[in-house]
Chain A
Amino acid sequence: MTLGSMGFSRGCFGQVVAVAVVGLVGCAAGDQDVSDMGRVEEHRSETAPVGDLFVDVTAVVGLNFEHVNGMSGEFYFNEMVGAGVALFDYDNDNDLDVYVVQGHILGPDVVAGDASLDPGLQGPLTDRLFRNDLDRDGGVLGFTDVTEASGLDARGYGMGVAAGDYDNDGWVDLYLLNFGSNQLWKNNGDGTFGDVTAASGTDDPRWSVSASFVDFDADGWLDLYVGNYVNYSIANNVECFNNIRTYCGPDGFVPVPDRLFRNRGDGSFEDVTASSQIGTEYGPALGVATADLDGNGWVDIYVANDLSENRSWMNQGDGTFVNTALFNGSALNETGDAEAGMGVDAGDFDGDGDDDLFISHLVTQTNTVYVNDGDGLFQDQSVRTGLGPPSLPFTGFGTAWFDFDNDGWLDVMVVNGAVDLLPRLVQARDPYPLHQTNQLFRNLGNARFEDVSMAAGASFEPSEVSRGAAFGDIDNDGDIDVVVTNNNGPARLLLNEVGNRNRWVGLRLVGATVDRDMLGTRVAVVRSGAPPLWRRVRSDGSYASANDSRVLVGVGESVITAVRAVWPGGGEEEWTDVAVNSWSTLRQGTGREVVR
């Protein structure tokens, strides 16, 4: 049985995935006419799409993964924190493969990576790599577990994953964040990976959760920011109670410093945590997003900390950073409270050309929207946007600004799961009483959002302990799908059912001489009669996860006149022949230079 026969083929899905390559024209002749200069009004997203917005196709596509947190009744802190997921194209066949992070059994005498502690659920407890066979199966989405063949043998207690081509060889590499030593896996370009942690100098023995590949010095090589959490070990585990025994929070433990590794360009990294000033202030980091928040041309690093001030590391352009979060208004919420930052993303939700911040938080705290005024000064607008109030009963983790309905306005999804035992579930004798449902919010185009979770379909009904979420066009059909990972539960693939009802532009931005996604590039889709839509090339954000590094821009009914790219380190180019409803590759140096 194929997905097509099950009704998953829709819109231009078949045509797009059949070619499954970038740089081709769109599937509908009329849609690709970029010279169409018909009357265009600024789109107001007043009508919600009908029908299921997302469909859970996990079972039928072979993405069989069950996370094991190793819980033993001892309430070890780390067991409810992981784990994440990455969407990346490891075999360069133009579709997104999936890497899922795994845990293992925990205990005072357990050695990380001890395979003998396999609980017998699904073979060796290691992270898993699933190859997307979209190109092999005639456009039918399906996955094959290629972990063993890939050589990836990640048996640490996994937390998160970051994806980026650190050695500029055109093959995306992986950095794995663990409760314990981290690992850098080099993609050998032949379907296998090699552990280069030691040679690269990127290990960090502390508890790490999220990371970002970011070219902070604009030298053409991806550097690495590693977000570290707290000084916790199984040995210093303490008992915490909320009337009954439950998990501890970060308050009882000391935060540990994050790390910044500068890529030397020779396969090794220099630890510049100290010289960059990143190490001078730190909190319990859970989420990391990078973006040029103040518009000075240098990518900044934003760190969401758990029950501690967030850090907004503003890039000074000289290898150093200054944390301005308190003054710039993104450290604390509007009442001055440090919230439990988990997932984070930066994106231009209000269409004013700068990146705003969204951070998911603990139950009883709102998720928080920090609106950027264009100069890197933020204001908490969580209540006004309508994103705050519905989040109060939930503990949010993975999240992203993403335009699920391709109407040109960035929406928000938050995957939820508590960290403290939920009383009602305890009463119901639930074996793992942390589970909650996930949420989807639609941008109404007027700086407000509506909660469309209930209308999103059956895929939003399961109550699970969700943690990671990675966003990307997994079936190459022109809308953004989501892989959700659940703590002590299954990974789930939610296919977007509605996005490609609107028009879209799919972009992969690569370097002049290397086929590397140019993370940090800002992209503007220029529209006739409407403000440009600004997006950025990124794989970071969310929680412990790595997103599709391509850029998919929903454009609704807008007429597109050009696409502009502002490359890391400066330089702006424009293309006027980018097809609509298709994936295109824009190579640095091939567009018309824009002089400002």
Chain B
Amino acid sequence: MNCHLLGRVGALLLWFFGFWSASCGGNSTPASAPVTDEAAAVIPTVQTPVPLPEIGGFDAEVQRELREGHNAIQVAIKAGNVTGEQYGRLGMQFAAYGLIDAAEAAYLNARRLEPELFRWGYYLGVLYDESSRPEEAIDMLESALALSPGYVAGIARLGDLLVDQDRATEARRRYADALALDQTCHPCLVGLGQIALQERDFVRAVDYLEQAVTLAPWANTTRYPLAMAYRGQGDEDAAQAQLQARTDGILNTGMGRQIDRPGVYDALLEELVAVSTTGNVALEARGVLAAREGRWADAIDDFNQLVAADPENAVSRNLLAMALLTTGDRDGAKLQYEAAVRVDPTHARANLQLGILLVEEGLETEATMRFRQAVKFDPGSNLAYLNLAGALLRSGEAAEAVGVYGELLQLDPSNAPARLGRAFALIRDGRHGEAKARLQEDMQARPNELAFPHTLVRLLATSPEAGVRDGRLALELVQQVSAELQNGEVAETTAMVMAELGAFDRAVRFQELAIDLAEQAGRSDLSAQLRGMLAFYRQGQPSRRPFRDNDPVFFPAPFRPPGVFDESVP
């Protein structure tokens, strides 16, 4: 069982995806307990009517399931033998499909008939919590926990509710109770850290939150309040380190935000989740949730069922393809993408991803066609433009590539890959003066990107157009670049600058350094080409070619950012 869970902040998601349990480690479903006076006092004695709610908008299968559940209750009522269990199960069905009022009525009846059971009160508390009725949720959970005081997931949930209602003292006590039962109660540590932060007790906040991070280092969300606690202590370095760790750790599943907040194992919620399995909507939601939790095998299983149920649905096929691609099943993914664009030629995302797979197979013409479709049907997609332009550049259609990069830059003026791609395309197209001007703008727009000054240096040092060349400026810039970056390419660039300035001895030395580095990297092909230029330098001839025709800058790899589908990255 994977331990990634929805926290309370993901309450809406709980509705969206049905009640997915908070789960990790721990305790099982609580047993029945004697009804205490405190608990009995709040249990209603009058049975609440449970009419069948409006279910017209649901999948037919879901409607059938709900009707059957409701009919069974009606039969039992007429027979005079309805049980709390029947009401409770019906309440779970209603709750799983977001039918709050009906679920509440059914749970209330279940609780009346089986007052000794923890679960119905607990489910009511959860229902109130997830429908933003915090005071009722607190009352109900307190009442339920009187029956089962050791149910850690319930205590933690109650603690979270109390924190949000500014009832810190009570929350602190609940968290302490939970931690006494389960030292790995992550939400308890986070909650205590949250209270300490609110009270500006930063030392204590650091203590709790560090414990939480130690317990679940993959839960990057926790690093933010920890950073705030360190900041409050005046330890800026520690704060920045936590922020950096958080940023580095963020993953995009391609299916929405990753869920990375651990909870406490909650057997009752797991039961609840298991109820909502009917219909394609539930199947899709469950698969997406599994993907966001990193349970890719489960996700693939769900998406496969979804595709089997509706083979002509491009969205389902796209989801399956994404999951397959993430797990390395490239061929399986390609089949699904092909099917997706067959049933829906306008599916931009499937066109895009299929295009990327085709590039990897060397099928540039077919890939370019897919990228054109992606741009056509999703003209706001950065990835579609970048891949189309890249495909054009690789195919030698540099002028058209310049135009496509330009279109993207109209929409996203700071886009660094587009700016760099445009520069390479302009150089490839022989428009060195224009490339120089654009690169100077690029340096202003993206001052931290070394690729722009580095590329400009090569133009300034080697352009065949005398008006473009500027050896002094090239020297100034290459010094800035080499202060930040030392590698074979920079060495080669430095050699170009030295040659342009007439310092051929130094050009030779830098070129030899570049050759050494290429050989150390096992790049004998590159080494040979560098030696060719070395001969020119030895003869006192500068370079007049910023990049070799086969330089990788003219053959950009397909743009597939980390996280399979994280289109926000470029």
Contacts and interface: CB of A to CB of B under 8 A. Distances in A.
Q: Do A and B assemble together?
A: yes
Contacts of A423: 15, 98-101, 131
A254 B568 contact: yes
Contact of B413 (A236, A245, A257, A326): A257
A386 B166 contact: yes
Given A275-B445, A393-B133, A332 B12 contact: no
B223 interface: yes
Contact of B198 (A332, A336, A366, A384): A384
Interface string B15-48: 1100000000000000000000000000000000
A243 B98 contact: yes
A420 B257 CA distance: 18
A364 B194 CA distance: 18
A389 B165 contact: yes
Contacts of A278: 414
B134 A389 contact: yes
Given A256-B380, A377-B231, A332 B224 contact: yes
Nearest to B247: A326
Interface string B102-136: 10000000000000000000000000001111100
Contacts of B98: 242-243, 423
Interface string B266-298: 000000000000000110110000000000000
Contact of A279 (B200, B381, B445): B445
Contacts of A279: 412-415, 445
**A243, A245, A393, most chain B CB atoms within 10 A:** A243
Which of B97, B101, B164 has the most chain A CB atoms closer than 10 A to its own CB? B164
B277 to A, nearest CB: 13
B422 to A, nearest CB: 12
B380 A329 contact: no
A335 B194 contact: yes
B100 A424 contact: yes
Contact of A420 (B12, B197, B227, B239): B12
A1 interface: no
B53 A337 contact: no
B446 A280 contact: yes
Contact of A254 (B100, B240, B567): B567
A107 B381 CA distance: 21
Contacts of A275: 441, 444-445
Contact of A336 (B132, B164, B222, B447): B222
Interface in B132-181: 132-134, 163-166
B362 interface: no
Interface string A292-327: 000000000000000100000000000000000011
Q: Which of B163, B284, B380, B447 has the most CB of A within 10 A?
A: B380
A278 B415 CA distance: 11
A393 B243 contact: no
B197 A242 contact: no
A329 B257 CA distance: 20
Nearest to B232: A379
B315 A238 contact: yes
Contacts of A557: none
Interface in B235-268: 236, 239-240, 243, 246-247, 256-257
Nearest to A339: B9
A132 to B, nearest CB: 39
A427 B12 contact: no
A365 interface: yes
Nearest to A241: B281
A205 B16 contact: no
B379 A233 contact: yes
Interface in B351-365: none
Contacts of A119: none
Given A243-B97, A336-B225, A255 B15 contact: no
A307 B222 CA distance: 17
Contacts of B281: 241, 243-244
Interface in A100-136: none
A381 interface: yes
Interface string A245-266: 1000001101111010000000
Nearest to B244: A326
B348 interface: yes
Contacts of B423: none
A261 B265 CA distance: 52
Given A386-B166, A420-B12, A427-B101, A243 B198 contact: no
16 contacts: A231-B381, A236-B378, A244-B57, A244-B281, A254-B567, A307-B257, A327-B236, A327-B240, A335-B225, A364-B9, A377-B231, A383-B165, A392-B134, A392-B164, A423-B99, A427-B53
Given A278-B414, A423-B99, 7 more contacts: A231-B380, A241-B281, A280-B446, A334-B198, A338-B257, A426-B54, A427-B99
